[in-house]
Amino acid sequence: MKITIDEIARVSGVSKGTVSRVINGKTTVAAATREKVLEVMNSLGFVPDPAARELSMRSKHTIGISIGQRDSRISPYFALIWRALARETQELGIQFIELHEDLPSYIRLPNAVLLFSAQHTHKRLDYLKSQNIPAVVIGHEPGHAFVVPDDHRGGQLAAEHLISLGHQQFAFLGTRIPSQAAEDRRNGFVDTLQKAGFSVQDEHDLEGHFNTLDAYRAIRKAWEAGHRFTALFAASDEMALGAIGALQDLDVQVPQQVSVVGFDGFPFPNTQLTTILQDISRIAHAAVQLALSGIEGEDPQGVYVPVQLQKGATTAAPPDVSH
User: CA 209, 198, 310, 148 torsion: positive or negative?
Assistant: negative
Residue 158 has pLDDT above 50, yes or no: yes
- If one counts the domains in the chain, the total is 2
pLDDT band at 54 (very low <50, low <70, confident <90, very high): very low
Confirm whether 104 is domain-assigned: no
Do 49 and 158 lie in a common domain? Answer: no
Do 162 and 46 lie in a common domain? Answer: no
Confirm whether 137 is domain-assigned: no
pLDDT band at 72 (very low <50, low <70, confident <90, very high): low
Where is mean pLDDT largest: 86-100, 112-126, 215-229? Answer: 215-229
To 10 degrees, what angle do helices 31-44 and 5-12 make?
A: 120
Closest to 146 (Cα-Cα) out of 312, 5, 311, 301: 301
Q: Is the pTM of this model over 0.85?
A: no
More confident residue, 9 or 276: 276
Task: Show the domain range for 42.
Answer: 5-57
Q: What is the domain-level CATH number for residue 11?
A: 1.10.260.40
Confirm whether 12 is domain-assigned: yes
Mean pLDDT score, 82-105:
90
Closest to 224 (Cα-Cα) out of 242, 201, 203: 203
pLDDT band at 58 (very low <50, low <70, confident <90, very high): low
More confident residue, 9 or 232: 232
pLDDT band at 3 (very low <50, low <70, confident <90, very high): confident
More confident residue, 56 or 270: 270
One-letter amino acid for residue 256 of the chain: Q
Boundary (domain end) residue, out of 41, 57, 73: 57
Confirm whether 168 is domain-assigned: yes
Boundary (domain end) residue, out of 239, 256, 278: 278
pLDDT band at 71 (very low <50, low <70, confident <90, very high): low
**Using one digit for the tens of pLDDT, what is the confidence trace for 235-248?**
999 999 999 999 99
Q: Mean pLDDT, the chain, as a whole number?
A: 87
Boundary (domain end) residue, out of 23, 39, 57: 57
In angstroms, the Cα distances linking 311 to 187, 200, 214, 234, 242 are: 21, 22, 25, 15, 19
Confirm whether 140 is domain-assigned: no
pLDDT value for 30: 76
Q: What is the domain-level CATH number for residue 211?
A: 3.40.50.2300
Residue 277 has pLDDT above 70, yes or no: yes
Are 260 and 103 contacting, i.e. CB atoms less than 8 angstroms apart?
A: no
Confirm whether 114 is domain-assigned: no
Confirm whether 199 is domain-assigned: yes
**Using one digit for the tens of pLDDT, what is the confidence trace for 278-299?**
999 999 999 999 999 999 888 8
Mean pLDDT score, 214-233:
96
Region of poorest pLDDT, from 115-119, 171-175, 177-181, 253-257: 115-119
Query: How big is the chain by its Cα radius of gyration, in Å?
Result: 23
